[in-house]
Structure formats: structure tokens, C-alpha cells
Amino acid sequence: MCTNRGVAYIQPGVVEVQEIAYPELALGSRKCEHGVILKIVSTNICGSDQHMVRGRTTAPAGLILGHEITGLVVEAGRDVEFIQVGDLVSVPFNIACGRCRNCKVGQTGICLNVNPARPGAAYGYVDMGGWVGGQAEYVMVPYADFNLLKFPDSDQAMAKIRDLTLLSDIFPTGFHGAVTAGVGPGSIVYVAGAGPVGLACAASCHLLGAAVVIVGDLIPERLEQARTFGCETVDLRSETPLADQIAAIVGVPEVDCAVDCVGFEARGHGHDAVTERPATVLNAVMEVTRAGGGIGIPGLYVTGDPGASDEAAKVGSLSIRIGLGWAKSHSFMTGQCPVMKYHRQLMNAILYDKIQIAKAVNVEVIRLDDAVRGYQDFDRGAAKKFVIDPHGLIAA
């Protein structure tokens, strides 16, 4: 019997690499004949994981983390027809059945059958169905024929694995934020947040033909990373209002569309930069987006935040200026990215050298045993995307 290890959330600020059970093709007491077991090739640390590790969700102790997974099929259930042992595959972080009304129209982020608590599920995430996460050596993936994206050539894929590993979440999520905000050829865009999703969004804006991509953040190193691939930047620690900083770049204090890649742990701008202000980004993007413009919101907002600064925010109630957005006829799109809507096209963009997404988000490959350090460095604001290599396959 193979052994398995995974990254477990222990308590706020603490994760550990632990021995965990080797996955089985089972859902509770019944056999999961539509599933596969993967040997993990790469699995990434996500900002959404960091929310849990900071104690900002109701995640239980012992949860095995990780929803950004790329792996090699080592076992397949009897009912799996089109995925075979030996295939190298990308795993959407959304777990979807492929059978419910939402899945059938492409809304795989809110599948109705894979989470008894609410629509939508994910690996290794609080309130998302109890599925074991993939920051491990092996993981079980259900509904394999529907969920998995097979790479057409494994050798070609391994040569670009640092890019392709980002197809499980942040590249499609950033792209989704840009698409739903209405980014297109000639757009002037503001991207709030220069973490990995924000950087992936900014790179996606370029891929979609944006004329100017402006990225805002509080961390100078992240802004410097954004500038490495042609973004303009604004320093949100500055006392100069955001609109004025945008005007200094494009001549007017507004943009065509904006994307919130920060979420509920947002801080204030200027003198408030040291204080948590969870509605700051939502209000700021409404202020600077032109009348009739679009706002994409892939940044995470939660219904339960025990570490929030006030009682309302603890249940996800924020003081947003919805009247401003209404008056300017803004469109808003929120929620999980339906990864399967985009991942095949984005795979091709990578394979045919239309984008270098790993370079844009500054991927650093680490061992599974270095995952604790990866979480610590990420929490300190490192301008990197940490990719875990559990079996040394990327290094090799």
C-alpha cells in the first residue's frame, strides 16, 4: 500500500505536513466508480488557502488543504471511460457532477450535487463539501470524465508545467475576472490587488487586448512584479487618491472596467492602509469605473469570518456604496470562476506561447516539506506564487 502525506490546517497561523490516508475510490460507504486517484505532479498555495490559515474562516482543525491540482492518473474507477491510467491532467478547483442543471449550462462553480451544505464544492476548503485537499502526494478526484482536462502530450506539458499548473485556478480565475468586467481590445482596466490572482488577471487583460492595465497594491514588491510584464501601477499607501493616480497615467480619473482581486481582507488606502476596511476595494472600483462600465469580483467574500473587525462583517455584511454603482449603471459579477469554461482555451494559449503566465505571477517551485515556509512567506506578502512539487517531478 502506498503512503501519503498532506498539508493540514492545525490552528490560526499553523500548518503541518502530516501522514494522511492514501485515497480510495469511495464516497462514504459506496464505491466511487466515476473517480480516479492522482499522483500529484504540482499543487499550488492559493490566497484562498491563506484566508483559512489566518483563521479568517470557520475551517476545522485537521483540514487537508489544497484545491489547485495537476496530476498523473494512477487508478481509475470502472465507469471512467475517457480518462486513462497514465494521463497527465489538470483538475479544476470546482468539483462538479456534470449532471445537475447548473453544470449543464456551464455553471460548474455552483454544482448542486457535490456539497450538501450549499451550491458549489472544492477540494480542501471550508464549507465546500468536505472533500480532501490536494496539497498532498495523492488525491481522489470524482466525476473524472467530466472534470479533468487531459494534456494532449505529457512531455510537452511537463516542459511547461510551471505555466500549466496555474490552469486549476488562478489563471482561469483572473481571466474570468477580466472577461466578466468586460475587458476587450483597447480597454483601460484597473486591477485591484497584485497577488497571484491579480497578476494573473492583469496578464489576462493583456491577452484580451487591453490598451492599459493599471494594477494597485500596498506592497511595493508586488507592484514591481506587475511592472515586469508591462502593467502601470498605483501605490495604495499613497495619500494621493486612487482616481488622481489613475488620471496621472491615462489623463482622466476613470477606467473602462475594473477587477477586484483582493476580497474580504482588504485594507484601507492612504493613511488607512494599516487598517482593515473590507469594503474598500468594492467602493474604490465603483468610484473609478466609468458610467456603464463593468466590475468583475473574483476576490473572495465569505459568509462567516470570525476574525472580522465588526459584527456585520463577521457574517459578510459590508458597507458598500451600492447606490453609487446603481447610479453609474455598473454591472457586477461575483462568485467562483467556472474553471471548465476557460481552461482548455487557456491551455492552448500556454502551449502555443501566447502567454507566459508563470513568469507573470513569479512561480517558485518548492518541496512538500517546504510548504510551511511557503505559507509563511506568502503571508508576509512575497511577490511569488508557490507551487508544491511533492514527488520531485518538476525538479527532475
CA distance 21 to 253: 55
Q: Is 381 left (phi over 0), alpha (psi -120 to 50) or beta?
A: left
| 122 in the same domain as 24 | yes
| Same domain flag for 227 and 121 | no
Residue 152 sits in the same domain as residue 206: no
**pLDDT over 90 at 274, yes or no:** no
Dump pLDDT digits (tens) for 1-25.
579 999 999 999 999 999 999 999 9
pLDDT digits (tens, 9 = 90+) for 161-210: 999 999 999 999 999 999 999 999 999 999 999 999 999 999 999 999 99
pLDDT averaged over the chain? 96
Residue 281 neighbours by CB under 8 Å, 6+ apart = 192, 193, 260, 262, 263, 266, 299
Place of cell 459579477: 333
At 28-53, the pLDDT tens digits run 889 999 999 999 999 999 999 999 99
13 backbone dihedrals φ, ψ, rounded to 5°:
85, 0
**Range name among 219-223, 271-275, 286-290, 352-356 with the lowest pLDDT average:** 271-275
For Cα atoms 218, 194, 108, give the angle at the middle one, nearest 5 degrees: 135
Same domain, yes or no: 201 and 159: no
Same domain for 303 and 250: yes
The residue among 313, 334, 355 that closes a domain is: 334
The answer to whether position 72 is within a domain reads: yes
Indicate whether 208 and 117 sit together in one domain: no
User: Does residue 369 lie within any of the structural domains?
Assistant: yes
Q: Does 231 lie in the same domain as 99?
A: no
**Band of the pLDDT at 310, cuts 50, 70, 90?**
confident
Residue 393 lies in a domain: no
pLDDT for 125: 96
Q: Kindly state whether residue 132 falls inside one of the protein's structural domains.
A: yes
Domain of 210, CATH number, reads 3.40.50.720
CA-nearest of 152, 135, 163 to 8 is 135
For helices 280-288 and 242-250, angle between their N-to-C axes, nearest 10 degrees: 40
Is there a single domain that holds both residue 136 and residue 249? no
256 and 127 belong to one structural domain: no
Going by DSSP bridges, is the β-strand pair 138-141/30-31 parallel, antiparallel, or unpaired?
A: unpaired
* Number of domains into which the chain is organized: 2
Residues 235, 100, single domain; the answer is: no
pLDDT over 70 (residue 230): yes
Tell which of 316, 334, 352 closes a domain. 334
- Residue 377 confidence class, pLDDT cut points 50, 70, 90: very high
Residues 141 and 225 in one domain: no
End-of-domain residue from the set 312, 334, 356: 334
- pTM here? 0.97
Same domain, 323 and 222: yes
Q: 396 lies in a domain?
A: no
- Structural domain that includes position 76: 5-169+338-388
The x, y and z cell numbers of residue 189, run together, are 482596466
Domain presence at residue 395: no
pLDDT digits (tens, 9 = 90+) for 90-136: 999 999 999 999 999 999 999 999 999 999 999 999 999 999 999 99
Residue 92 lies in a domain: yes
329: confidence class by pLDDT, cuts 50, 70, 90: very high
Q: What's the confidence (pLDDT) of residue 182? A: 98
Asked whether residue 394 is domain-assigned, the answer is: no
